[in-house]
Amino acid sequence: MKYNTKSRVTIAGFVVALAVLLYSCGGGGGGGYGGGGAPPTSTVQVVVCPVGGGTTDISIISSTAAGFSPGSVTVPVNTTVKWTNADGMLHTVTNTTVPPNGTFNQTVNPGASVCLKFTLSGAFNYQCSLHLVMTGLVTVQ
Ligand SMILES: [Cu+2]
């Protein structure tokens, strides 16, 4: 009997805590990182591809070793690199070896583009996770 009473109190407390949590989260709306927290620390950020250029462009051309064209690019810090899938099948742009906090894994449908902004220097190897012979390198200086 004592045990039952105690656990009921605990559950009630949990429900109240949950309700408070839900209430405080519900009001915020929009984006943000909750309570003015730290901005994202990733050195690679997925961005909307800018209209009218300003990007370093890479074509995804096949599921063979040719894969990405050009296969290797060297760009300054804060460059946005744009991959466009010029092939008829789905591919990905997926990191293999990168500096800390630089992970990325983007799916690119046929005819579509994805853009990544590189905000710190480093050597970013990547591949298509569906066709492992497809490899590329972005060097950021
Ligand atoms: Cu692929």
Q: In this predicted structure, what is the pLDDT of residue 11?
A: 42
Query: What is the 23 CA–ligand 1 centroid distance (Å)?
Result: 44
In a domain? residue 128: yes
Calculate ∠ Cα 102-47-59, nearest 5°.
85
Query: What is the 129 CA–ligand 1 centroid distance (Å)?
Result: 6
In a domain? residue 5: no
In a domain? residue 39: no
| Angstrom distance (rounded) from CA 91 to CA 121 | 25
Q: In this predicted structure, what is the pLDDT of residue 1?
A: 46
| Angstrom distance (rounded) from CA 56 to CA 75 | 8
In a domain? residue 35: no
β pairing state of 68-69 and 122-127:
unpaired
Instruction: Write the pLDDT tens digit of every residue in 96-110.
Output: 976 666 789 999 999
Query: What is the 51 CA–ligand 1 centroid distance (Å)?
Result: 25
Best-predicted range by mean pLDDT (12-21, 36-45, 126-135): 126-135
User: Contact at 8 Å (CB) between 139 and 73?
Assistant: yes
Phi-psi region of 44 (alpha: psi -120 to 50; beta: other; left: phi over 0): beta
CATH code for the domain in which residue 52 is found: 2.60.40.420
Cα–Cα nearest to 42, from 115, 100, 125 = 100
Question: What's the pTM?
Answer: 0.69
In this predicted model, which residue has the larger pLDDT, 9 or 31? 9
Query: What is the 99 CA–ligand 1 centroid distance (Å)?
Result: 23
In a domain? residue 21: no
Q: Tell me the one-letter amino acid at 13.
A: G
Query: What is the 111 CA–ligand 1 centroid distance (Å)?
Result: 13
Domain that holds residue 75: 44-140
Q: In this predicted structure, what is the pLDDT of residue 32?
A: 37
Instruction: Write the pLDDT tens digit of every residue in 42-69.
Output: 689 999 999 988 999 999 999 999 999 9
In a domain? residue 7: no
pLDDT(139) > 50: yes
- The encoded tokens of residue 34 equal 């909750």
Query: What is the 105 CA–ligand 1 centroid distance (Å)?
Result: 12
In a domain? residue 31: no
Largest Cα separation within the chain, whole Å, is 73
Q: In this predicted structure, what is the pLDDT of residue 103?
A: 84
Q: How many domains does the chain have?
A: 1
Q: In this predicted structure, what is the pLDDT of residue 10?
A: 47
Q: In this predicted structure, what is the pLDDT of residue 97?
A: 75
* DSSP 8-state secondary structure symbol assigned to residue 96: S
In this predicted model, which residue has the larger pLDDT, 118 or 28? 118
Query: What is the 96 CA–ligand 1 centroid distance (Å)?
Result: 14
